[in-house]
Structure formats: C-alpha cells, structure tokens
Amino acid sequence: MNLSGNAGAAAHATSHPLNQTTGEENPRPVQLAILLRKTYGMAVTSNHADVTEMVRLAVSDQEIAEAVEVFGMKKPNERPNAGYILGIIRSAREQAAKAAAAVAGKPADPATPTQTAAEWWNSIEGIKAKAAELSVAWKVEEGELFMSFKVRVFKRAGEGPWRQQLLRETERDEAMHARILAFFYPSEQEAA
C-alpha cells in the first residue's frame, strides 16, 4: 500500500547497486548513500554515521522505503533525514521482535537489546553457525587462523555488511586490507 509518493520513487532508484561508470556493484554504504540522497533527498555520504549504522544492521531498501512512508504520514511536507529514518526502522524491528516473542509465549525483555540473526558476523558463534550453514569448514588441523576462516565465510556469504565491516576494520593494516579486498573482489584475470 502506497500512502505517499515516496515508496514509488524507490522503484526508480534501482540503479544504485551498480557503479554508473564501471558497471560493477557498489559497496553497500555507497548503495545506501545514493538511495538516500537521490531518491529521498537526504544529505548523506557513504561514511555518514547513520548510513554506517544502516549497513551494520543490514537495513534493506524496502525497510527504508517503508520508513520514509511512515515519516511522510507523521510529518507531511517535511524532508526526511537519515537519523529519523533509522529510528523508525529500529522501532519497527523492536515491535516485530516483541510480537514474535509474544507469539512464541516468551515475554520480550526490554532491557535486553535484540540482536537479529542478520547480525551473525558480529560474534564467533554466529560466524561458526553461518559457516556450518554454508558448508565452510574451519581447517583447525591445518593451522588455519580464525581470521582466515572468517574471511572465507564472509566471501562464501556473498556481498553484505559483514564484508564492508571487515574491510573498515582492516584499513590500518594496508597489506591485510589489500589481500582481503583482492580475495573478496578478484580481478577478471584472477577470477578466470
């Protein structure tokens, strides 16, 4: 249901995943910045704190479109901002988690922050569980370090905030950053 014209605009923003010059897929922070800026008129860049948080939370384009609709109903004739939209998304997720807990017969504890399954990359146990799901074995007997295992899991999991977070975390170690970047995104010669 489209109560405002904003969600329909999202359909015109389908080009944001690809770089207009190279045709390659943009990193998720760039995708979100383009979507927020061009579709919804928000003044953000790919390293804006709200964009970074949206990437960390694995916010989808659809969630943004729905949040902008809610914003339009609450504040007609005002331009949305990324922080307010992020707040709406968080609130919607909390309400969904509480509803799911109620259906399961477990009261939701408001003091406990809800970590969604989408945030599996933030814990060792989550990474191990994702590895099992993707059939990636940790080669402990071969002396594989957890970091190498983690990078292999992130590659098998495909594009997502886990990759972008890891690349940000390794930026200070240029050699490691370059190796991980090349592993995630091999050149056409290496991929062939």
Query: pTM score, two decimals?
Result: 0.48
Structural domains of the chain, count: 2
**Residue % of the chain over a pLDDT of 70:** 82
Same domain, 137 and 84: no
Do the domain assignments include residue 110?
no
Same domain, 22 and 87: yes
Same domain, 22 and 99: yes
Identify the pLDDT of residue 112: 47
Do the domain assignments include residue 16?
yes
Distance of alpha carbon 169 from the chain centroid: 15
Domain that holds residue 139: 117-191
Same domain, 85 and 136: no
Do the domain assignments include residue 1?
no
Same domain, 40 and 123: no
| pLDDT: which is higher, 189 or 184 | 184
Do the domain assignments include residue 53?
yes
- pLDDT, tens digit, 9 for 90 and up, residues 88-147: 898 888 887 777 777 776 655 544 444 456 688 888 888 999 999 999 999 989 988 888
The pairs formed by 121-126 with CB atoms below 8 angstroms and a separation of 24 or more are 121/154, 121/157, 121/160, 121/161, 121/162, 121/165, 121/166
> Other CB atoms closer than 10 Å to residue 37's CB: what's the count?
19
